[in-house]
């Protein structure tokens, strides 16, 4: 977290806004370190939290974590007499599942129950299920924005940035992890890079890179056909002396591109769900919070009665009419000639 700093006014002391943030960090039991930058222009707060704090919050929020494949299979085959679960085995045909195993990509809500700890997958080289940097960053941000009565800090980071109370809030780079991603990045293996990038930069960047990989691989067919169509068009114009407007090649190419675009997007939907399955993004869609710029009227939800911010329909229609009037006024008058 980065804040403005004025050496003449503050003289090595945190500002009022920073003192408020530090107070809330203490209440949320978030470990922090405050210092002034070497340029004497910014004051910085470094944040971290203990494993026990991460575990407590993950349990309170029912945070989904990946399960260990081998442990899941072992417990399925052993059963659970206490809970009335008989031993079972899942038949697996790799030709049908396209390489996915029955116990792969299973996510479950975290629980601090000691008997369940072996179920949660531990990243390679890690000591516990919270060794994943991405999981820790998400949980740390959730600590900052969780309400104080829920054990959080009650900070709305986006609003603080919008109001100018804070310059920026961002995670620090891990040089070793970043260099590992850069070394493994390949222009010819985008699909693998999507998983690696997601593990360091998050699911949004990983999903974008996955779409780029999908579109790049699908561009081979139209690229080859466009070369043939260009050659055919040259033959029509220069050899057959046919007018370009009467070309028989271009309609074929246009029809193919329509089919290609529809097929490519449908195939991407399948791959998108495969990414979401591997990354634990299915079935856990949280409500998108309102942006700080959004201004509305509070009211009970018409669906479940929960408080929500509502934008009045009359004001929305009034703004639409003003926008339509501006667009119409920008349209040039018809020519009389």
Give the Cβ contact number of residue 210 at 10 Å: 24
How far, rounded to the nearest angstrom, does the alpha carbon of residue 119 sit from its chain's CA centroid?
25
Provide the sign of the torsion angle of the four alpha carbons 216, 218, 224, 230, taken in this order.
Answer: negative
Instruction: State the pLDDT at residue 261.
Output: 95
Backbone angles phi, psi at 104, to 5 degrees: -90, 145
Task: Record the pTM.
Answer: 0.77
pLDDT of residue 240: 81
Q: How far apart are CA 281 and CA 147, in angstroms?
A: 24
Q: Are strands 2-4 and 42-48 parallel, antiparallel or unpaired?
A: antiparallel
Containing H/E element for 137? helix 133-145
Report the pLDDT value the prediction gives residue 337, as an integer from 0 to 100.
55
CB 193 within 8 A of CB 28: no
Got the DSSP string for 184-201?
A: H--TT-HHHHHHHHHHHH
pLDDT, position 188: 64
Q: Which two tokens stand for residue 332?
A: 């040039």
Q: Please, what are the averages of pLDDT over each run of 10 residues along the chain (337 residues)?
A: 90 90 92 92 93 92 92 91 88 82 90 92 90 92 88 88 90 87 72 80 88 90 93 86 80 93 95 88 64 79 83 90 91 69
Query: SS3 of 150, please?
Result: helix
**Three-state SS string across 213-273, please?**
HHHHHHCHHHHHHHHHHHHHHHHHHHCCCCCHHHCCHHHHHHHHHHHHHHHHHHHHHHHHH
Question: How confident is the model at residue 269, as a pLDDT?
Answer: 94
Please say whether the dihedral angle defined by the alpha carbons of residues 203, 208, 209 and 214, taken in this order, is positive or negative.
Answer: positive
């Amino acid at each position: 977290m980065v804040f403005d700093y004025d050496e003449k006014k503050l003289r090595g002391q945190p500002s009022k806004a920073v003192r408020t943030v530090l107070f809330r960090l203490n209440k949320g039991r978030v470990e922090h370190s405050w210092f002034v930058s070497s340029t004497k222009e910014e004051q910085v707060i470094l944040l971290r939290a203990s494993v026990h704090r991460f575990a407590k919050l993950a349990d309170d929020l029912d945070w989904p974590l990946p399960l260990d494949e081998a442990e899941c299979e072992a417990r399925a085959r052993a059963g659970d007499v206490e809970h009335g679960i008989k031993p079972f085995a899942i038949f697996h045909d790799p030709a049908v599942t396209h390489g996915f195993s029955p116990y792969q990509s299973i996510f479950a809500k975290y629980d601090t129950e000691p008997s369940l700890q072996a179920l949660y997958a531990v990243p390679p080289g890690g000591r516990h299920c919270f060794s994943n940097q991405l999981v820790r960053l998400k949980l740390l941000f959730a600590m900052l924005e969780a309400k104080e009565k829920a054990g959080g800090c009650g900070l709305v980071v986006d609003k603080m940035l919008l109001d100018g109370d804070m310059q920026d809030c961002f995670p620090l780079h891990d040089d070793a992890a970043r260099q590992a991603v850069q070394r493994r990045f390949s222009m010819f293996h985008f699909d693998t890079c999507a998983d690696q990038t997601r593990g360091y930069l998050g699911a949004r960047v990983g999903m974008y890179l996955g779409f780029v990989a999908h579109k790049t691989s699908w561009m081979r067919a139209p690229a080859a056909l466009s070369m043939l169509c260009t050659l055919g068009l040259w033959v029509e114009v220069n050899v057959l002396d046919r007018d370009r407007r009467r070309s028989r090649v271009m309609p074929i190419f246009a029809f193919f591109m329509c089919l290609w675009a529809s097929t490519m997007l449908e195939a991407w939907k399948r791959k998108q769900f495969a990414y979401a399955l591997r990354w634990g993004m299915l079935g856990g869609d949280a409500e998108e919070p309102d942006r700080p710029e959004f201004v509305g009227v509070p009211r009970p939800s018409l669906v479940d009665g929960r408080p929500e911010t509502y934008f009045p329909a009359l004001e929305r229609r009034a703004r639409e009419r003003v926008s339509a009037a501006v667009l119409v006024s920008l349209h040039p008058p018809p020519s009389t000639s």
